[in-house]
Amino acid sequence: MTDQPRLPEIDENWTTALAVVAHPDDLEFGTAAAIARWTAQGKRIIYCMVTSGEAGIDAIHPDEAGPLREQEQIASARVVGVEEVEFLRLPDGVLEYGLPLRRAIAAQVRKHQPEIVITGNFRDTWPGGFLNQADHMAAGRATLDAVRDAGNRWVFHEQLGDGLEPWNGVRQVWLAISPQSTHAVDVTATFDDGVASLKEHAAYIDGLSWEFDPVAFLDELCSAAGPALGVKYATTFEILDLNG
């Protein structure tokens, strides 16, 4: 994110957002500080984890790692003011884009009726050219399509029998930390909350095969994005406008 261009501030005129990502910890790698800002404004944000991250710790069997990572995600969410966390429990590491994934996410959109849907970057790379991971790309792309599916009563219409009505109220889908980011948000005041939220993923961090410092990582990421708004710390999003 070096030489970050100036970007417009993100529109905060909304009340409810649904954040859909592939794994526990995905939101904490740069987005949780923004979520802390929004919950402090009184906004309602719901987390939806497509997997439980059960394949993410080499030294812990998935049967043990999944519940552990769910617990860490719930604790992490609470740090930034999020009390609602959903787990779809689809298979970690082998997530596939397709109708089952779209169907599961569409049900969440219909259930929670957000105005904004936040998801992970589904582009092939991260800022700086680092390759993205298959689960992230599948979950992000499926989320975008599921938002549109959720508004069509004849797509996944069996959900209507479960009391889930079509929902056309999503205005935008935001891709967090996209290499094609179009907007930014000042997270200077909530940076420490973002760090604390990431630190709740202690088992995951301990299981990494490299030295990882949450403070240093987020400082580098958010300070690199800061010039986008002329502030100390920022995070960025690519906004996909569904009405434009």
pLDDT in tens, 174-192: 999 999 999 999 999 999 9
Do 19 and 188 meet the contact criterion of CB atoms below 8 Å apart? no
Burial of residue 114 (number of CB atoms within 10 Å: 0-12, 13-18, 19+): buried
User: For 89-131, where are the E strands, in sequence order?
Assistant: 116-120
Comparing CA positions, the residue from 146, 26, 22, 20 lying closest to residue 95 is 22
Termini Cα distance of the chain? 27
Q: 11 in a domain, yes or no?
A: no
Is residue 32 included in any domain, yes or no? yes
The string of pLDDT tens digits covering residues 51-93 is 999 999 999 999 999 999 999 999 999 999 999 999 999 999 9
Radius of gyration for the chain, computed over Cα atoms and rounded to the nearest angstrom:
17
pLDDT of residue 196: 98
Domain interval for residue 32 = 16-241
Residue 5 located in a structural domain: no
Mean of pLDDT over the chain: 96
Share of the chain above pLDDT 90, in %: 94
Distance CA(47)–CA(65), nearest Å, equals 19
Read off the pLDDT band of 128 (50, 70, 90).
confident
Residues pairing with 174 in the sheet: 118, 239
Structural domain count, the chain: 1
pLDDT for res 1: 43
Asked if pLDDT for residue 2 goes beyond 90, the answer is no
- Confidence check: pLDDT of 203 > 60: yes
**Is 144 a member of any domain?**
yes
